[in-house]
């Protein structure tokens, strides 16, 4: 089996590193979304009133 040229190997390595970083960032974003969602559910307004969009943006 022939060895791949170095530049192809380096490119694959760089892509894998980028995938790993993006996966970690996506996990952080999902966690932040879950936290905000939990806060909004914990602060349910009385009588089922809707939460204003400005309040949602302020919580972020």
Q: What is the pLDDT of residues 9-55, one digit of tens each?
A: 889 999 999 999 999 999 999 999 999 999 998 887 655 555 566 65
Instruction: State the DSSP H helix or E strand holding residue 10, giving kind and residue range, or none if neither.
Output: helix 6-42
| More confident site: 60 or 8 | 8
Q: Is the pLDDT of residue 1 over 90?
A: no
Distance CA 37, CA 33 (A): 6
- In 3D space, the residue among 53, 31, 51, 54 whose CA is nearest the CA of residue 42 turns out to be 51
| pTM, entire model | 0.56
Residue 7's pLDDT is 76
Residue 3's pLDDT is 77
- DSSP tally for the chain: helices H, then strands E: 2, 0
């Amino acid at each position: 089996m022939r060895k791949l040229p170095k530049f192809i190997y380096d490119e694959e390595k760089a892509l894998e590193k980028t995938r790993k970083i993006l996966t970690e960032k996506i996990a952080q974003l999902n966690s932040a979304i879950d936290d905000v969602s939990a806060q909004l559910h914990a602060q349910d307004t009385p009588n089922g009133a809707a939460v204003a969009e400005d309040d949602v943006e302020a919580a972020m």
